[in-house]
């Protein structure tokens, strides 16, 4: 006989799913308010029914029971009402045959962790690395990816940001069309393979953050409506289809998602989450679901600190405000402004959403000091105001990047080329230096560390009408870029559904092992960022200032913490001056800008230059000469004060 509903509910740590009990059997719990009865069906691999047990009804549409015959590894599905067919568990912990197959019971306590001394991460001094498991290695698995973690740690990466892994339909995809939020994709290995990846990362001192999608569910392999239409909003839609319902009699849906955030932190030891497209998470409730997600994720494991990141196209800094002040309690936001301005400076193209940027000295100076460029001004592309003020927010709370998965695939090119392939070597070196020296939180995209030539294209695996719709949608999206808007160009776009499109995106092992001048450049910059006493210190007060020298040249000055250090003999404790020139060689005579003046009793000396021959540059002469300042073109130069 099944236990009472109250006992079954207490038998589960999470609100829904199948959980192995230490005393034997498995506790099942599912939310299915569209039905009066639900049964769990245990099956063998051929689909033969072994056991079928009814679940007992609880309040608010939940059903639960403990089934003695079930154990770790058992395959199961749910029978809803009197339906003849069965469906997978919407909170399945593993789908070994994909989202339309049988769910499999996983014992989350069976894995032996070795990271008990790991205390988590904070936002300070992070260097992120975005990774897509399926293309990061030839094998495309967590086990294969583990072998490359030592090299990333040695390079200077501090935290991996893993693109979404929730189970999705097809044999390949970016992961943003997940349908089983609790099930790591079977394409990359088993749940314990994922745990093994995180555990090894922690051994090497690397954090791991997971990208999650809480704005929509994927269209293929999605059985949620069979359990209840209340999973989906009747008031909102997203760019990708039906919005998740968070504000219309939606308490169980809110719990389903907020518990999912805690689940990844607790059972897989992730050091945080990156929430995709949060501007498409719609909630008019008094407490926004993002605040609930934040609170629940942070409470999942009190022994460890986590970081929460958000992508938000509207640049809403309320996301970064503490919950007690009406915010959502996140740690950092992606800074698309930096990417777009850098993209214009690197390529000269100002198409579509790049039209609001000029890649100018003033833009980079403003972003170095204030994070976002758009903080409420009108966007000509969007024809409305964009952004919110960043006053009082520390610079590390803005994630900057030259590349990410979206921006490589969605660039105004046909082949998903990397940004270094579209720019001159000098400008690329100079902007890379600015990016890694500036006080935002930098994020690499996989392969960027060794100048990978592998493209990153949009790929998916949908059949029939859905596949056709994806191809049409991709072509429609690319029409916004003038340079690829012709019919011939659109027809030449790589087919998102072709296996060849996916295969060409895999990183190439020969390039990974070769290294080169770009690897040396970035490695040295990360060392400078990490070890220099001025660049490494905590940010406080008026520690950073800057000035425009020309349309494409500017200076940034990092001031020492203590003004008395101006008079010491320890030059490493004095100010740093970073001179950036993205244009032609510049001569300034006279030089009335006060920031160019060295501290009293000192003179500027070159500490680092992007034009060092070791990086493929032409060398750098003294900047301050008898006839004024002479600044090399397409260069970033770091100066420190040396006693006269």
- Active-site positions? 276, 311
Closest CA to 272 of 248, 247, 305: 305
521 contacts 615 by C-beta, under 8 angstroms: yes
In angstroms, the Cα distances linking 608 to 103, 433, 534, 612 are: 56, 10, 14, 8
The tokens of 577 are what? 């001056």
Dist CA 85 CA 80 (whole Å): 8
Helices (H), 438-478: 464-478
Residue 345, φ and ψ in degrees, nearest 5: -65, -35
Only one residue has tokens 């549409």, namely 61
Residue 328, φ and ψ in degrees, nearest 5: -115, -5
Q: Compute the 3-state secondary structure of the chain and give helix, strand, coil in percent, each to the nearest 5.
A: 30, 20, 45
Closest CA to 271 of 309, 311, 297, 307: 307
Instruction: Kindly write down the DSSP assignment for every residue of 492-531, as one continuous string.
Output: TSPPTT-HHHHHTTSPPHHHHHH--HHHHHHHHHHHHHHH
Dist CA 164 CA 178 (whole Å): 8
Residue 17, φ and ψ in degrees, nearest 5: 115, -175
308: β partners: 273
CA-angle at 644, arms to 564 and 547, nearest 5°: 65
Could you tell me how many helices (H) and strands (E) the chain has, helices first? 17, 29
Helices (H), 322-451: 336-347, 361-370, 405-409, 425-437
The tokens of 303 are what? 């022994």
Only one residue has tokens 């959403």, namely 353
Instruction: Kindly write down the DSSP assignment for every residue of 289-307, as one continuous string.
Output: HHHHHHHHHHHS-TTSB-E
Dist CA 458 CA 467 (whole Å): 13
The tokens of 541 are what? 């007060």
Strand order, beta sheet including 75-80 = 17-20, 26-31, 62-67, 49-57, 38-43, 75-80, 103-104
Dist CA 37 CA 2 (whole Å): 15
156 contacts 523 by C-beta, under 8 angstroms: yes
Q: Give the 3-state secondary structure of residue 313.
A: coil
In angstroms, the Cα distances linking 229 to 31, 36, 233, 239, 288 are: 12, 15, 8, 19, 21
- 107-111: long-range contacts (C-beta < 8 A, 24 or more apart)? 107/20, 107/72, 108/19, 108/20, 108/191, 108/267, 109/20, 109/22, 110/72, 110/192, 111/192, 111/195, 111/196, 111/199
């Amino acid at each position: 006989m099944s236990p009472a509903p109250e006992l079954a509910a207490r038998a589960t740590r999470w609100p829904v799913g199948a959980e192995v009990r230490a005393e034997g059997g498995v506790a099942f719990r599912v939310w299915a308010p569209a039905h009066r009865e639900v049964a769990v069906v245990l099956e063998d691999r051929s689909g033969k029914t072994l056991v079928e047990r009814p679940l007992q009804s609880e309040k608010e549409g939940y059903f639960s029971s403990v089934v003695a015959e079930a154990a770790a590894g058992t395959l199961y599905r749910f029978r809803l009402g009197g339906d003849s067919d069965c469906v997978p568990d919407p909170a399945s912990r593993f789908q070994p045959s994909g989202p339309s197959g049988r769910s499999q019971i996983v014992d989350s306590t069976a894995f032996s962790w070795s990271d008990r001394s790991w205390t988590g991460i904070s936002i300070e001094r992070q260097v992120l690395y975005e990774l897509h498991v399926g293309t990061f290695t030839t094998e495309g698995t967590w086990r294969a990816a583990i072998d490359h973690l030592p090299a990333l740690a040695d390079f200077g990466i501090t935290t991996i940001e893993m693109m979404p892994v929730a189970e999705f339909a097809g044999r390949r995809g970016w992961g943003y069309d997940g349908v089983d939020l609790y099930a790591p994709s079977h394409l990359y290995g088993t749940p314990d393979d994922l745990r093994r990846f995180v555990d090894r990362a922690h051994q090497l001192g690397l954090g791991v953050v997971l990208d999650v999608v809480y704005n929509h569910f994927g269209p293929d392999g999605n059985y949620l409506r069979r359990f209840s239409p209340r999973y989906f909003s009747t008031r909102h839609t997203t760019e990708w289809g039906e919005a998740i319902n968070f504000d219309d009699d939606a308490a169980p849906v809110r719990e389903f998602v907020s518990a999912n955030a805690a689940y990844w932190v607790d059972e897989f030891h992730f050091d945080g989450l990156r929430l995709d497209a949060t501007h498409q998470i719609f909630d008019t409730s008094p407490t926004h679901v993002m605040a609930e997600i934040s609170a629940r994720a942070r409470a999942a494991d009190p022994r460890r600190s986590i970081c929460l990141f958000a992508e938000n196209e509207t640049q809403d800094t309320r996301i970064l405000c503490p919950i007690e002040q009406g915010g959502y309690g996140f740690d950092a936001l992606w800074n698309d402004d930096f990417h777009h301005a850098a993209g214009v400076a690197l390529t000269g193209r100002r198409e579509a959403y790049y039209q609001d940027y000029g890649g100018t000295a003033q833009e980079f100076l403003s972003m170095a000091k204030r994070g976002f460029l758009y903080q409420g001004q009108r966007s000509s592309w969007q024809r409305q105001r964009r952004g919110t003020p960043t006053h009082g927010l520390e610079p590390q709370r803005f994630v900057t990047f030259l590349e990410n998965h979206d921006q490589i695939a969605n660039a105004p090119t046909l082949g998903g080329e990397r940004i270094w392939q579209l720019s001159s070597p000098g400008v690329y070196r100079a902007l890379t230096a600015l990016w890694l020296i500036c006080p935002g939180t930098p994020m690499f995209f996989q392969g960027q560390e060794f100048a990978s030539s592998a493209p990153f294209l949009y790929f998916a695996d949908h059949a029939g009408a859905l596949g056709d719709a994806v191809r049409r949608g991709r072509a429609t999206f690319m029409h916004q870029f003038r340079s690829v808007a012709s019919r011939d160009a659109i027809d030449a776009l790589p087919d998102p559904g072709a296996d060849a499109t996916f295969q060409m995106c895999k990183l190439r092992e020969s390039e990974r092992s070769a290294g080169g001048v770009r690897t040396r450049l970035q490695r040295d910059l990360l060392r400078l960022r990490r070890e220099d006493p001025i660049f490494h210190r905590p940010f406080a007060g008026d520690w950073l200032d800057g000035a425009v020298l020309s349309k494409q040249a500017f200076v940034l000055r990092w001031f020492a913490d203590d003004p008395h250090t101006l008079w010491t003999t320890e030059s490493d404790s004095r100010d740093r001056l970073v001179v950036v020139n993205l244009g032609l060689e510049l001569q300034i005579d006279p030089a009335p800008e006060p920031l160019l003046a060295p501290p009293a009793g000192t003179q500027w000396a070159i500490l680092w230059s992007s034009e060092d021959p070791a990086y493929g540059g032409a060398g750098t002469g003294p900047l301050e000469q008898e006839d004024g300042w002479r600044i090399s073109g397409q260069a970033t130069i770091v100066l420190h004060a040396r006693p006269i």
